[in-house]
């Protein structure tokens, strides 16, 4: 796997002292039950990779040589065929990128691209596999990560196949509003282009649909959302926890003895 010096802005810095990397990994909530020794072992051979927005982290079809661990920023996984791309998932800290491929020495099924300037820990693939095979607590943690990612994938699929575009947008916005305690005015957290991708539609369709939200008590101008009629909004869109609830990585129980 090559790390192309991304075009444009400052080149990526691969080198970073390992000791502080171990500390960063220890901050990860879902690694709370993993022994420090193991985390240090992972960090030993790892490097911190800082990349600007737009960088390709790996290409579809490559055999992984390291496990990329998202510490800061955002990354999207996209399926590619010729020149068209489709969004598969967007990842946030502290997700591991496609652990399934790394563990089984299988090719990555997607391309990964940084959506914003991001920091990743790159862990040697062999080191990673050995650690998972020799440390039970780590194995449980990775299982939890993989489980969360699977469930997110299922939720995405349900959202996409079960709801028309307008409902997807409405539920997305309603969830956003509710997470802000129904404040009457809030901001879109990310670019519209990315929202459209996550909701599986084109920017044009999103744009039109946002306009149509006025009928349901929501006005969107630029990146500002104003709730004009919370009741109408709730009447029109019903959140389904089996689709709309976030799917955090659960650390799970400590090792049973």
Partner DNA sequence: GCTCGGCTTTGATCCATATCAATGCGTCAG
Partner DNA sequence: CTGACGCATTGATATGGATCAAAGCCGAGC
Going by C-alpha positions, the residue among 97, 141, 154 that lies closest to residue 123 is 97
Residue 39 or 227: the one with the smaller Cβ distance to DNA is 227
Integer Cα distance of 123 and 107 in angstroms: 17
Q: Residues 89-128: x/- map of binding to its own copies (CB under 8 A)?
A: ----------xxx-xx-xx-xx------------------
Interaction mask 127-146, its own copies, x per CB under 8 A: --xx-xxx-x--xx-xxx-x
127 contacts 41 by C-beta, under 8 angstroms: yes
Q: According to CB under 8 A, which residues from 44 to 63 bind its own copies?
A: 60-61
**Sign of the C-alpha dihedral, residues 71, 72, 77, 83?**
negative
Rounded to whole angstroms, the Cα distance separating 52 from 59 reads 17
DSSP, collapsed to helix, strand or coil, labels residue 20 as: helix
Residue 257 in the binding site for its own copies (CB under 8 A): yes
User: For residues 100 and 230, which CB has a smaller minimum distance to its own copies in the complex?
Assistant: 100
Stretch that binds its own copies, among 81-89, 112-120, 214-222, 223-231 (CB under 8 A): 81-89
Secondary structure (DSSP) of 179-226 = HTTT-SEEE-SS-HHHHHHHHTS-HHHHHHHHHHGGGGTEEEETTEEE
Residue 23 interacting partner from its own copies, DNA, none (CB closer than 5 to 8 Å by kind): none
Q: Which two tokens stand for residue 113?
A: 């691209």
Nearer of residues 133 and 183 to its own copies, judged by Cβ: 133
Choose among DNA, its own copies, none what residue 101 binds, the Cβ cut-off being 5 to 8 Å by kind: its own copies
Contact call for residue 83 and its own copies (CB under 8 A): no
Q: How many CB atoms lie within 10 A of CB 219?
A: 15
Q: What is each CA distance from 30 to 18, 152, 174, 243, in whole angstroms?
A: 20, 17, 28, 22
CB 161 within 8 A of CB 191: no
Residues lying near DNA in the complex (CB under 7 A) are found at 164-166, 191-193, 200-208, 210-211, 220, 222
The distance of closest approach from Cβ of residue 195 to its own copies in the complex, given in angstroms and rounded to an integer, is: 17
Q: What is the size of the binding site for its own copies (CB under 8 A)?
A: 52
208 touches which of DNA, its own copies, none (CB within 5 to 8 A by kind)? DNA
The footprint of its own copies on residues 149-178 (CB under 8 A) is 149-151, 153-158, 161-163
Kindly state the smallest distance separating residue 27's Cβ from DNA, in Å.
31
Give the shortest CB-102-to-DNA separation in angstroms: 30
Could you check whether the bond before residue 94 is cis, i.e. omega within 30 degrees of 0? yes
Helix/strand/coil percentages in the chain, nearest 5: 45, 20, 35
Note the residues at the interface with its own copies (CB under 8 A).
60-61, 79, 81, 84, 86, 88, 99-101, 103-104, 106-107, 109-110, 129-130, 132-134, 136, 139-140, 142-144, 146-151, 153-158, 161-163, 200, 240-242, 250, 252-253, 255-257
């Amino acid at each position: 796997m090559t790390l192309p010096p991304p075009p444009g802005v400052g080149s990526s810095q691969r080198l970073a002292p390992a000791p502080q990397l171990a500390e960063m990994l220890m901050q990860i909530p879902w690694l709370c039950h993993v022994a420090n020794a193991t985390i240090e072992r992972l960090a030993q051979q790892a490097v911190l990779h800082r990349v600007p927005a737009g960088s390709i982290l790996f290409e579809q079809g490559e055999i992984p040589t390291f496990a990329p661990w998202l510490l800061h920023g955002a990354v999207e996984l996209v399926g590619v065929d010729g020149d068209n791309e489709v969004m598969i998932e967007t990842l946030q800290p502290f997700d591991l990128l496609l652990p399934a491929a790394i563990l089984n020495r299988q090719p990555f099924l997607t391309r990964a691209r940084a959506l914003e300037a991001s920091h990743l820990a790159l862990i040697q693939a062999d080191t990673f596999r050995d650690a998972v095979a020799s440390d039970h607590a780590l194995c449980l943690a990775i299982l939890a990560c993989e489980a969360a990612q699977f469930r997110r994938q299922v939720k995405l699929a349900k959202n996409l196949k079960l709801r028309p575009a307008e409902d997807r947008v409405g539920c997305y916005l309603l969830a956003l509003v509710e997470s802000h305690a129904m404040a009457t005015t809030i901001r879109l957290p990310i670019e519209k282009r990315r929202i459209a991708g996550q909701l599986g539609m084109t920017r044009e369709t999103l744009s039109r649909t946002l306009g149509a939200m006025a009928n349901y008590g929501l006005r969107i101008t630029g990146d500002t959302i104003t709730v004009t009629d919370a009741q109408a909004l709730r009447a029109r869109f019903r959140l389904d926890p089996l689709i709309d609830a976030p799917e955090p990585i659960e650390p799970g129980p400590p090792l049973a003895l």
